[in-house]
Each structure stands twice: as structure tokens, then as C-alpha cells.
Structure 1
Amino acid sequence: MTGRSRNDAGQAFPIYIVMVAGLLFLVFAFFAVGKASALRNGAQGAADAAALAAAQQNREDFEAPFLASLPGDMLEQFLQAHAVYGCPAAKALAAANQAKLTGCWPTLGGHRDQIKVEVKGRKPVDSSVIPRTKRMYAKATATAIVEFRCPGWKALDFNDDGVKDLYIFNCQGAGMVEIAPGSPPPWSEVSKILYDVHLVDN
């Protein structure tokens, strides 16, 4: 009886080892999946921040050409044909969020410009149980919009000399703003009323 019990125990030991090894594999696999998910979320956050930074940089860069277009009543021409850029700001924000900017595509859209970015996380998944993860990095894309939300405006020429002295903008959902080209208010204040910056689905 004792010999049989020892024999049964000896046969069960390899099965126990296999079960423990299987459980350990599952634990490491779940850990790798969780790490990959966390890295993916981090990359998406970096992409969102980079796209928004690029859009906000564009809004800031609009100040000089926007104001220069007002006296000669050339605002609509500016809105339809202006530079759209912001990739340096996107690159900086991606780096600040542990990611690398791998693509940046600004698109002129008149009253509604678009900037799409792509980033790659700097940390690999690097799982010991899943092959080829040492070079597997999380990637994500995001798209931001810079939208001029004041389609209706009045341009007033007090002296009838062909030079506009005052613009009154009625901006959807943001209120009203007045800009005198000769003494404009701080751009940091009026730009947030004139232009909306937000993320959109890719």
C-alpha cells in the first residue's frame, strides 16, 4: 500500500509541475496584455496632446496675418488661404508624454483646418512569454480641428476711406467680440472666442 502511494505521488509530481508552469505562463501573458493596454492608452494620450498642441499653435500663429487682413477687408481671403502648421509643437508634446511623433499632416480647410498626428510610444511591450515584443511599441493617431466659429461679422468704415476701423464678430456659442485693427485687444483673449480647438474622431 505504501509503495503504491509513493508511485502515485511520483506520477502526480510531473502533472503538478506542468500545471504550475501553465499558471505562470497565464500570469505573465495577462501581465503582458495589461502592459500593452497601458502603453496603448499612454500613446493615445500622447497623440491627443500632440494634436491639440499643434492646433493651438496654429491658432496662436494666426494673430499677425489675421489682424493684418482686417484694415483692407481681406479677412475672408485670409480664412480661405492661410498657412496651417504646428508640427513642432506636436513633436514637443509627444516627447513630453514619452512618445515620438512619427507623422503630422496639417490640412487647410478654410474656416475649419485639420491636423492629424501619429505617435509611437518609447517603451516596448517586452514580454518574456510573447515572441517579438521587445520591438513592439504602442502606436496611436489623433486629429484636432481649428475652427473659425464667427461666420457672421460686420466691418465698419467710420471715415469712408476704404480702411475698416472696427470689426464686430458674432461667434457661435462664444459670444461677441469687437476688434479695432488700429488697437486690437490681446490675441490671447480674443483668439479663444474666434477659434475653437478640439479633437475629432479619426
Structure 2
Amino acid sequence: MTGTNRRDAGQAFPIYVVMVAGLLFLVFAFFAVGKAAALRNSAQGAADAAALAAASQARDEFGAGFYASLPEDLLDVYLRTHTVGGCTAASGLASANQAKLLSCTPPLKGSYEDRITVKVQGNKPVDSSVLPDSKETRAEAKATAVVKFRCSWKSFDYNNDSVRDMFFFTCGSDFLEIAPASPPPWSTVSRILYDVHLVDN
């Protein structure tokens, strides 16, 4: 090898080192970004599950108040003023999906549609050497679920004593008859009376 060739090779070596270092940085950066995206998706899944759990628990808890309102025909008042819970279930589902519940906001009263919004934080940090301040950075996500009363109804007082003896509910294609004196188990009718689903925040 001539002196010129040795000199060229010596000059090229640092360039190769820089190129390799740059490629390695890009690889780690892409990995970190991918990990952050995966953690964000995981947190969103936990938030969705927590919101649905909160809404489902709230629906399960409506039974006693719902049935108590029927004899005096106070169902409309109950639907607009009932208390909405569900945050206990939200916390449990967030934990089961590797996240922590940061907040659970019950809806304002006054509607046949109750929205419950939850916010969660994933348990695992991004923790990447190429992303600054990522050692303690954890993904956060929000989700909102709706508990919606989906029926119209008619009530009848057969004895003219101001106590309703029967309610007839039309819920889309479903039809229910409920006698306040002997109502069916709430678990058998709650999913017909109320719909639970996620909505955009």
C-alpha cells in the first residue's frame, strides 16, 4: 500500500466511526419512539377498559333507585337526578391493565345520558438513553364512556290510587313489562334499559 492509500484510509476511518455511531443513534431513537408509542397505546387501552368498567358499574348500581322511583311515577325525576358512581371499578381495571387511575370524573346530573371520564397513567416509563427526561416519563391517556337510558315508557295505575301498577318500556326493538310490586332482577333488564359505550373525549 502506498503512502497515499494509507493516508486516505486513515482519513476515512473517523468518517466510518461517525457514520456507525449515527446509525446506532438512529436505531436507538427509532426503538425509543416505538416503545413510547406502544406504551401510549397500552395506556389508551387501559383508559378505555377503565371507562367502560366505570360505566358498567354505574349501570349496575342504578337498580335500587330505578325500581324505587316506579310506584310513584318518579322515573323521569330519577333519570335526571340520580347519583353516578363507578370509579371503584375504573381503578381496578386500570390496575389490571398495568396502569394507575389518575382521575375519574362523574357526570353532571340532568340528562338521560351520563358520561364518565377517566384518566390513567401507565406503570412503565419510556426510560430511553436517547430521549431526554424519559427515565420517569410515563404514558397518559383519557377515555370517556356513556351510560345512556335508551327507552320510552308508559305507566298504568289500574286502581286509581296514584300508585303505578305496570310500566311498559320500548327500547329500540326490545319491549319490557315491569311491575313495580315484583320487578325482575336488575341484571336481566339493565342491559336492555341502558346502553354503555365509549365516545370521543
What range describes the TM-score normalised by the shorter chain of this pair? over 0.9
Show structure 1 runs of 5+ residues with no match: none
Distance 1:30 1:109 in 2: 48
Distance 1:180 1:38 in 2: 51
User: Structure 1 residues 53 and 174 mapped into 2: Cα distance closer, same or farther (>3 Å)?
Assistant: farther
Measured on the aligned residues, the alpha-carbon RMSD in Å equals: 1.1
SS of the residue corresponding to residue 106 of structure 2 reads strand
Choose 31-40 or 109-118, whichever is displaced more: 109-118
Which residue of 1 is the match for residue 174 of structure 2? 175
Which residue of 1 is the match for residue 17 of structure 2? 17
Q: Give 1:73 deviation, angstroms.
A: 1.0
Choose 192-201 or 4-13, whichever is displaced more: 4-13
1:30-109 matched pairs, under 5 angstroms: 30-107=30-107, 108-109=109-110
Runs of 4+ with deviation above 6 angstroms:
none
What is the TM-score when the length of structure 2 is the normalising length?
A: 0.96
Q: How many residue pairs are counted as aligned between the two chains? A: 200
Q: Give 1:54 deviation, angstroms.
A: 0.5
Identity of aligned residues (%): 67
| Paired residues of 1:102 and 1:120 also in contact (CA < 8 A) | yes
SS of the residue corresponding to residue 176 of structure 1 reads strand
Distance 1:185 1:5 in 2: 93
User: Structure 1 residues 199 and 109 mapped into 2: Cα distance closer, same or farther (>3 Å)?
Assistant: farther
What is the TM-score when the length of structure 1 is the normalising length?
A: 0.96
Which residue of 2 is the match for residue 196 of structure 1? 195
Show structure 2 runs of 5+ residues with no match: none
Distance 2:5 2:26 in 1: 31
Give the residue type in structure 2 aligned to 1:175: D
Distance 1:133 1:49 in 2: 26
